[in-house]
Amino acid sequence: MRKLYLSKKNRKILGVCAGIAETYDIDPAVVRLATVFLFLATAIIPVLVTYILGWIFLPEKPAG
């Protein structure tokens, strides 16, 4: 079972998008572009709240 973590090595802002990309073996740029698209499509607030909640509740990836 895959566990979602914040990325330590590939983060640009908080590591949420990079953590999703690492978990599902996707290019982080694709996840970031999808996030930007969702920001614009939903008037920013719902995705921003979800992104911040992800940053607060997701643990950092352990070393190793």
Residue 5 lies in a domain: no
Residue 6 lies in a domain: no
Mean pLDDT of 5-11: 88
Alpha-helix residue ranges (DSSP H) falling in the chain? 16-23, 28-41, 45-57
Residue 3 lies in a domain: no
The boundaries of the domain holding residue 47 are 16-57
Residue 48 lies in a domain: yes
Tokens found for residue 6: 């914040």
Residue 52 lies in a domain: yes
Q: Record the pTM.
A: 0.85
Residue 4 lies in a domain: no
For the chain, the domain total comes to: 1
Residue 62 lies in a domain: no
Residue 2 lies in a domain: no
Q: How confident is the model at residue 1 (pLDDT cuts 50, 70, 90)?
A: confident
